[in-house]
Each structure stands twice: as C-alpha cells, then as structure tokens.
Amino acid sequence: MCGRFHNHVKAMHEWVDVLGDWPGETALSYNVSPTQIVPIVVEGTEEGVTVAARWGLVPAWAKDFANKYPTHNARLETASEKPSYRSAWKHSRSCLVPTGGFYEWRKEGSLKQPYFIHKADDMLVFAGLWEAWNDRVSFTILTTEAVGLVARLHHRMPVMLTPRKAVEWLEKGTAEPDILQDQGVYQDVVFHTVSTRVNNARSDGAELVEAMPAD
C-alpha cells in the first residue's frame, strides 16, 4: 500500500520528456498524505501535462469533493470492478505520480517504525487513475502484491513504472493493463529507517527521509 510519499523531485535524465512541465506551480512535500493537493501527470499532445489533484479519488457521482472514503489506493486486481474507480478505469484516465520514494511502517516491539523506500539514484513513478469532479481533479495510486525487498515491510506496494512503461501507461492506459505487469523496476529499490516525525502528517522537511544512525 502507500499511505505517504515524498515528491520533492525534479524530472531528470530519461524522465524529462515523459513528465513534461513537472511539477508546475503545485506545492511539493516530503510528507504527502491523503487529501492533499499535489501534482500528477496526465497525457498531453506530445508529452505529459502536470495538473494539481487531490490524493484520494472522488467519483464523479459523489455528492461533494470531500470524499470520506479511503480511496487514495486502489488494488490493481479489482480497480475495474469497484464503483469508485470503475469509470476512471473504463475511460482509461491514467496518470503518473512522480515521487522521491514512499514510506511504510512496521511494528517493532511497542514502536511503529517508519521506513523510507526509494531508488538510490533516481525517482520512482507510480501508476494511478484520475477522475474529474466538476472542475476539480482527484487521483488514486494503483497497488499490487509486494515483491522483493518491499515485501519485508508490507504485503502491498505501489505499481512502479520504468520511463518506457510510463509513456505506454499514459498513451494506452487500461486498454492494455498488461503494461503494469513489468516488475523489473522493483529490483532496484532500497529502504532505511527514518525518524518517527514522519508519523505526524503535519511534519515536513528533507530530514524526514534521512537514514537514522545505526545503534
């Protein structure tokens, strides 16, 4: 799953052409939590276009934009069937969520220890779905069964994309869901413990992703 992430990143190397005008004028954070407005990338004419979107998909049929249900993650296996995501899947409203990494927690004795999961020399880009509610945009991050190192921390993880797969996801989307089955990118992720300050959604700052010193 993914309940927090950090998006203080710039499009670099092979990602520049994929992400277009990322991150636009939308605020960035080292501790993005559900319901926050953050930049995501949707399909443009030649490259991705950045839009500001609420993390936590609000279906078009919702009565208001303050959706009370936990729709920040959607299981890849069932997203096409669930009422909240069905329209976004049917109409292939695919998006990219660029990040510097994400946080996961593991119970260690009486402590809920946070870990930061990332790639050592690159960004991570998650696959998502977006939806429009009047003139406002919201999104969800697709998740899949955890593999590799991430499985040591949790049984679910975000669907992560290579640059080539990211372009295909924007262009073809749910018409070709097998795009999301390539798990090669997961082999390069690493993790380390971070300060419990990240447990507070109001905390922010680069120090949140710094590795805790070994005992």
Give me the active site residues, please.
2, 104
Task: Write the DSSP assignment of the chain as a string of letters.
Answer: --S-EE------GGGHHHHTTTTTT----SSB-TT-EEEEEE--SSS-EEEEEEES---TT-SSS---S--SEEETTTTTTSTTTHHHHHTT-EEEEEESEEEEEEEETTEEEEEEEEETTB-EEEEEEEEEETTEEEEEEEEEE--GGGGGT-SEEE-B--HHHHHHHHHHGGGSGGGGG--GGGGGEEEEE--GGGGSTT--SGGGGSPPPP-
